[in-house]
Amino acid sequence: MIYSRIAGTGSYLPARIVTNDELASRLDTSDQWVRERTGIAQRHIADDSQACSDLALEASRRAMEAAGVSAAELDLIVVATSTPDFIFPSTACILQAKLGAKNGAAFDIQAVCSGFVYALATADKFIRSGQYRCALVVGSEVFSRILDWNDRGTCVLFGDGAGAVVLRAGDAPGIHSSILRADGSYADILSVPGNVSHGKITGSPFLQMVGNQVFKFAVKVLDEVAREALSAAGAEISDIDWLIPHQANVRILEATSKKLGIPAEKVVLTVDHHGNTSAASVPLALDEYVRAGKIKPGHRLLMEGVGGGFTWGAVYATL
C-alpha cells in the first residue's frame, strides 16, 4: 500500500503590514470594531511588483528545504489560488519554471478558501495511485487585488500570503482521509462576479459577501465535514492533537471548535496577524505552528476549509 506524508512545510508573508489603525485612518472603522467582530489586528499586503507565483515561490523553497527535496525530485505541483498571475498559463506552471523543475505535472485548483484542502486531497490521491512520488502543494493568494478598499465590510478581513507542503510517497500512513464537498446554489453569498470580455471588465471585479449567511453556513459545514473525515479514518474527535481550520474569522473558529467539542488550546489560530488569506491560510497556519515547535512529528491534524462556491472539505493526517 502506498501512502502520502507531509515531509516539509513552508510559508511566506509579504513585508508590508497593514494594521487596523491604518485602515481606520481612511475608513469609517476602528481597531476595536475590527477586533471585536473578526479577531484581526493586522494583515500582510503584497507589493505591486509581487505576483501570486512570487509568494508561492518563497513558500515552496522553504517547504522544499524543510523536506530536503530538490526541484528535480518534484513530479507534481498543485497550486490552490483564486488570484492567479494570469488567466493562463496556470500559476503552477509559472511556479514550476521559477523553481527550475522539469517534466511532471503542474496545474491550479480554484476552490477559493477551501483550495489548499482540495489541492492536498488531490495530490494525495495521485501519490496513492502510484503515478507520482513527490508533490509540492501550495496555497497562494493576493486577495488585496480583488478588494474594494472603501468597503469596510470586506477589505478589513483579508490579507496576502502563501503556504506550501511537500508530500512524499511512503509505506506508513500520513494522510488518513479526505472529504471534499460543494454546493453551487450558495454561489451568490460570496463571490467576485466579474470577468474579462473583449478587453473590458464586465460585472464587478471586487469581492462581495453576505457576512451573516456565510457565517452560519461555514460553521454548519465545517462541523459536518470534520466528523466525516474522522469517521472515514476510523478516528474520534478526542484523537485530534490540532484542529487547523481556515483562518477566516475568529468567531467562526470559536463556534466551530465549540460545536466539535475541541478545546481552544488545540485550535491553531493565526487570523489575528494574517487576516483571511483564503487558500493560503491553512498551510500558513500549519507552517507557523510547526516552526514554533508546537506541532510536532506524530501529531494528528485535522485541516479544514470552507469558501466561495460554496466549497468545503477536510483532511485528517498524521504529521
- The domain that holds 116 is classified in CATH as 3.40.47.10
Name the domain count of the chain: 2
At 143, list the grid cell.
486577495
- Is 246 catalytic? The answer is yes
Tell me what the mean pLDDT of segment 90-102 comes to. 97
**φ/ψ (deg, to 5) at 143:** -65, -20
Q: Is the pLDDT of residue 205 over 90?
A: yes
* 207 and 109 in a common domain: no
Tell me what the mean pLDDT of segment 114-129 comes to. 98
* 33 and 47 in a common domain: yes
Of the chain, the percentage scoring pLDDT greater than 70 comes to: 100
Q: Is the pLDDT of residue 103 over 90?
A: no
What is the pLDDT, as a whole number, of residue 63?
Answer: 99
**60: domain range?**
3-171
Q: Predicted confidence band at 284 (pLDDT cuts at 50, 70, 90)?
A: very high
* 133 and 180 in a common domain: no
Tell me what the mean pLDDT of segment 61-77 comes to. 98
Residue 225 · residue 181 · CB < 8 Å: yes
Q: What is the CA radius of gyration of the chain?
A: 18
* 308 and 225 in a common domain: yes
Q: Which of 122, 147, 171 is the last residue of a domain?
A: 171
What is the pLDDT, as a whole number, of residue 93?
Answer: 98
Kindly report the CA angle at 120 between 116 and 123, in degrees rounded to 5? 135
Q: Predicted confidence band at 276 (pLDDT cuts at 50, 70, 90)?
A: very high
Of the chain, the percentage scoring pLDDT greater than 90 comes to: 99
- The set of residues, in sequence order, having a beta carbon less than 8 Å from that of 238 and lying 6+ positions away, is none
Compute the half-sphere exposure of residue 51: CA atoms within 13 Å on the CB side of its CA.
12
Mean per-residue pLDDT over the chain, rounded: 97
pLDDT in tens, 208-255: 999 999 999 999 999 999 999 999 999 999 999 999 999 999 999 999
Out of 20, 44, 93, 113, which one is annotated catalytic? 113
What is the pLDDT, as a whole number, of residue 101?
Answer: 97
Tell me what the mean pLDDT of segment 125-132 comes to. 97
Q: Is the pLDDT of residue 85 over 90?
A: yes
Q: What's the distance, Cα to Cα, between the start and end of the chain in Å?
A: 18
- The set of residues, in sequence order, having a beta carbon less than 8 Å from that of 233 and lying 6+ positions away, is 176, 177, 316
Q: Which of 121, 138, 171 is the last residue of a domain?
A: 171
Out of 44, 246, 249, 274, which one is annotated catalytic? 246
10 Å Cβ neighbour count for 294? 12
Q: Which of 110, 137, 171 is the last residue of a domain?
A: 171
Out of 52, 93, 249, 276, which one is annotated catalytic? 276
At 64, list the grid cell.
522544499
CA distances from 58 to 11, 17, 246, 278 (A): 7, 18, 21, 17
